[in-house]
């Protein structure tokens, strides 16, 4: 399965900053991330200053409100029956793309980011992890419970480092 990943990298030289967008073929395959790092490294021998982890999928089709009526939130049995339909494979896909993929992208690009700190004196390289208000706010997932949980994991990655 090919899962989308968008990341932006680069400063060619101080006078001409630029942004490149690339896709890794599959976030479940660390080798694909490594290939991307190698390609960027060959194009940016002085390193990079920015990595944006912007991957995001929501695969809880069995519980999404767009395709299924929401349960009666005053009825615990209705809530339980509705969300019991959630598929563990959907949870795994959401966490792989939304949370784990960004972690491995950050770790893989860390040496290039460290090199990029020397491009402009006084500036440091950065990693930006895009998350969602679904990580924080009740009733924003529209039935995609695993999506909200996986985006909350992105927030926790930042606090762990």
pLDDT band at 20 (very low <50, low <70, confident <90, very high): low
Please tell me the predicted confidence (pLDDT) of residue 134: 74
Q: What does the pLDDT look like over 36-88, one tens digit per residue?
A: 999 999 999 999 999 998 888 888 888 888 888 899 999 999 999 999 999 99
The answer to whether the CB of 14 falls within 8 A of the CB of 52 is: no
Q: Which helix (H) or strand (E) holds 22?
A: strand 20-22
CA distance 159 to 149: 16
Please tell me the predicted confidence (pLDDT) of residue 108: 94
pLDDT: is 24 or 6 the higher one? Answer: 24
pLDDT: is 116 or 151 the higher one? Answer: 116
Q: What does the pLDDT look like over 88-101, one tens digit per residue?
A: 999 999 888 888 88
The average confidence (pLDDT) of the chain is 79
| In the chain, % of residues over pLDDT 70 | 76
CA distance 161 to 155: 11
């Amino acid at each position: 399965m090919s899962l989308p990943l968008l990341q932006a990298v680069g400063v060619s030289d101080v006078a001409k900053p630029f942004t490149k967008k690339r896709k890794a073929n599959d976030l479940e395959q660390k080798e694909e991330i490594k290939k991307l790092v190698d390609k960027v490294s060959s194009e940016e021998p002085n390193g990079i200053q920015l990595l944006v982890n912007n991957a995001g999928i929501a695969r809880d089709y069995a519980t999404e409100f767009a395709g299924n009526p929401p349960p009666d939130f005053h009825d615990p049995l209705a809530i339980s029956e509705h969300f019991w339909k959630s598929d563990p494979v959907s949870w795994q896909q959401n966490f792989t793309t939304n949370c784990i993929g960004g972690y491995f992208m950050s770790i893989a690009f860390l040496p290039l980011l460290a090199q990029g700190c020397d491009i402009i004196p006084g500036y440091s390289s950065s990693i930006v992890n895009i998350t969602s208000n679904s990580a924080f706010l009740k009733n924003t997932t529209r039935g995609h419970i695993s999506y909200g949980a996986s985006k909350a994991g992105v927030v926790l990655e930042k606090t762990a480092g």
